């Protein structure tokens, strides 16, 4: 992947006392190949490489950094620039309702995104309304209704005598409905085609004219690589848009679309979708994406997701217990469930520094294994979870039978738990955490 390639290229610079122009040229060439392989558009690659070279050869010398670190810093900063610099927030209207229109090819992920955005906005205290203006595909309206139900957000759909067969009319009526029912944001889901075509574009243009949106978000499948650029250009010149949403980033090994789309269209990326579930969605942060591409891991995103899903009080309680060596299997189970709520474990690992290379060793963290651990702990009585020391041979057999695993699996879990608890408590001690009183068990 791009991140692996760049990591390797930049690691090659390590240990060099100073970089000659030849070193910089060679590094630039390799970065160029890595970007092209990742399907980054050629003009973007050219501009990027020129900037990096210029800065690396220039007088930009920081005493505190060695040459390799300087190049990493420059590459990182230029990546952030290409990705748009600052995080761009959603533009909302001064006088609600704000109108957000979604446009893009069929299958890009518009309807899925509508649900994700609706849920996210609702979580922030907004009262969104979804409008089903895709009347092209037979099931499009139903699909949005299902998504709306999952997000807990109402859907305005055409009814007999009210906009049936006319997406422009449905959109207009949707805005009326939002005004009447005091929704502060309207999300208009529109129809796409498999390829760019005139009729679709005209429809999008007419809808845009009818609803006068505060944002037109161009939704694009990041997996399609170079093709994303062509589509983006067609939509920019057709209906026009104010922002981009990248979808299916979970499936994109190359990351090229992310790097090209902003630069080529001149419009910022606002959100990123990385899975089929409503939670697989994030505000797009250029700096975090850059560090992800550079293989530094997206620790900030992880922290933010963790904050959303963890109960602060519960987490603090667990941390205190951990530091004092009093963590129980019940706490462990709670923490594990909280982590798993954040999404597939493989996605989470992708955000951790270096985890890319460690995936194999971390094979033990696969979902099936987690299911088993969960089953085993669930098979224990509260007393056993609270004090795993009491889990003797006959209890182990009972737990194994109850949770459909082998006794050795139970042994394994209990032993690992003791080891981990001991290790974490001693680590916490060395790092000087308070531990909040309480002796060890
Ligand atoms: P639309 O035609 O633009 O409305 O696209 P849909 O929202 O119907 O999505 C098309 C397909 O892509 C569906 O099967 C979605 O489940 C899937 N999909 C959408 N977004 C993502 C994503 O971020 N990751 C993955 N893996 N699948 C997605
Ligand atoms: Mg759709």
Which residues partner with 219 through β-bridges?
A: 245
Q: Are residues 379 and 243 in the same domain?
A: no
Residue 437 lies in a domain: no
Q: Are residues 290 and 315 in the same domain?
A: no
Query: Is the predicted ipTM greater than 0.90, yes or no?
Result: yes
Distance CA 191, CA 135 (A): 7
Rounded to whole angstroms, the maximal C-alpha distance in the chain is 76
**Which residue is listed with tokens 């899903």?**
309
pLDDT of res. 441: 33
292 annotated binding-site participant: no
Question: Which tokens sit at 36?
Answer: 């092209």
pLDDT in tens, the chain (441 residues): 777 777 777 777 766 767 788 888 888 998 898 888 888 889 999 999 999 999 888 755 555 566 766 787 788 889 999 999 999 999 999 999 999 999 999 999 999 999 999 999 999 999 999 999 999 887 999 999 999 999 999 999 987 767 678 999 999 999 999 999 999 999 999 999 888 889 999 999 999 999 999 999 999 998 887 788 889 999 999 999 999 999 998 876 566 887 888 988 999 999 999 999 999 999 999 988 887 777 655 555 555 565 566 666 666 676 677 667 777 888 778 777 776 776 666 666 555 555 544 444 444 456 777 788 888 998 999 899 988 899 999 999 999 998 889 999 999 888 888 877 776 666 555 544 433 333 333
Q: Which of 82, 113, 143 is the last residue of a domain?
A: 82
For the CA of 251, the nearest atom of ligand 1: 26
Residue 304 lies in a domain: no
Domain of 271, CATH number, reads: 3.40.50.300
Q: Are residues 334 and 283 in the same domain?
A: no
Q: Which of 261, 296, 331 is the last residue of a domain?
A: 296
Q: Are residues 274 and 318 in the same domain?
A: no
Q: How many domains, in total, are found in the chain?
A: 3
Residue 270 lies in a domain: yes
Domain of 410, CATH number, reads: 1.10.260.30
**HSE toward the beta carbon, residue 344, CA cutoff 13 A:** 13
Q: Which of 296, 321, 345 is the last residue of a domain?
A: 296
CB-based contact 342:306 (threshold 8 Å): yes
pLDDT of res. 431: 47
pLDDT of res. 37: 84
Q: Are residues 188 and 226 in the same domain?
A: yes
191 annotated binding-site participant: yes
Hey, how many other C-beta atoms are within 10 angstroms of the C-beta on 314? 13
pLDDT of res. 145: 96
Q: Are residues 275 and 331 in the same domain?
A: no
Write out the residue range of the structural domain in which residue 133 sits.
98-296
Distance CA 209, CA 401 (A): 65
Ligand nearest to the CA of 247: 1
DSSP-derived letter for residue 389 is G
Q: Are residues 268 and 125 in the same domain?
A: yes
Residue 301 lies in a domain: no
Residue 306 lies in a domain: no
Helix (H) or strand (E) holding 247: strand 243-247
Q: Are residues 39 and 188 in the same domain?
A: no
Q: Are residues 255 and 342 in the same domain?
A: no
Ligand 1, from 102, 105, 109, 275: best to mutate by most atoms within 8 Å of Cβ? 109
User: What pTM, to 2 d.p., does this model score?
Assistant: 0.70
pLDDT of res. 364: 46
Residue 176 lies in a domain: yes
């Amino acid at each position: 992947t791009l991140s692996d390639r760049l990591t390797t290229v930049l690691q090659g610079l390590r240990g060099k006392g100073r970089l000659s122009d030849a070193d910089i040229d060679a590094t630039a060439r390799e970065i160029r190949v890595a970007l092209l392989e990742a399907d980054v558009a050629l003009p973007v690659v050219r501009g990027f490489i020129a900037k990096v070279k210029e800065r690396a050869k220039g007088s930009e010398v920081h005493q505190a950094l060695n040459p390799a670190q300087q190049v990493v810093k420059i590459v990182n900063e230029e990546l952030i620039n290409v990705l748009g610099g600052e995080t761009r927030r959603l533009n909302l209207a001064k006088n609600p309702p704000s109108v957000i229109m979604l446009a893009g090819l069929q299958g890009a992920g518009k309807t899925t995104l509508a649900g994700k955005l609706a849920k996210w906005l609702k979580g922030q205290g907004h009262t969104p309304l979804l409008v089903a203006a895709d009347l092209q595909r037979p099931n499009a309206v139903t699909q949005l209704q299902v998504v709306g139900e999952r997000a807990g957000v109402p859907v305005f759909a055409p009814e007999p005598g009210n906009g049936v067969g006319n997406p422009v009319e449905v959109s207009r009526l949707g805005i009326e409905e939002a005004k009447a029912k005091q929704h502060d944001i309207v999300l208009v889901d529109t129809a796409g085609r498999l390829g760019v075509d005139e009729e679709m574009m005209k429809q999008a243009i007419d809808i845009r004219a009818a609803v006068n949106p505060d944002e037109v978000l161009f939704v694009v499948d990041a997996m399609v690589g170079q093709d994303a650029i062509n589509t983006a250009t067609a939509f920019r010149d057709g209906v026009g848009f104010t922002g981009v949403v990248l979808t299916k980033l979970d499936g994109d090994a190359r990351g090229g679309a992310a790097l090209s789309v902003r630069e080529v269209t001149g419009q910022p990326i606002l959100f990123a979708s990385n899975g089929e579930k409503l939670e697989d969605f994030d505000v797009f942060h250029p700096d975090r994406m850059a560090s992800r591409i550079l293989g530094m891991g997206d620790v900030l995103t992880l922290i933010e997701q963790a904050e959303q899903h963890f109960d602060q009080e519960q987490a603090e309680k667990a941390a205190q217990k951990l530091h004092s060596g009093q963590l129980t299997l019940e706490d462990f189970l709670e923490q594990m469930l909280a982590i798993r709520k954040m999404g597939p474990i493989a996605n989470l690992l992708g955000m951790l520094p270096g985890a890319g290379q460690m995936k194999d060793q971390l094979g033990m963290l696969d979902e099936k294994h987690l299911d088993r651990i969960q089953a085993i702990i669930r098979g224990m009585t509260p007393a056993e979870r609270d004090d795993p020391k009491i889990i003797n041979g006959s209890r182990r057999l009972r737990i194994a039978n109850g949770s459909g695993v082998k006794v050795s699996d139970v042994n394994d879990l209990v032993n690992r738990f003791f080891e981990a608890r001991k290790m974490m408590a001693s680590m916490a001690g060395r790092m000087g955490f308070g531990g909040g009183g309480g002796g060890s068990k």
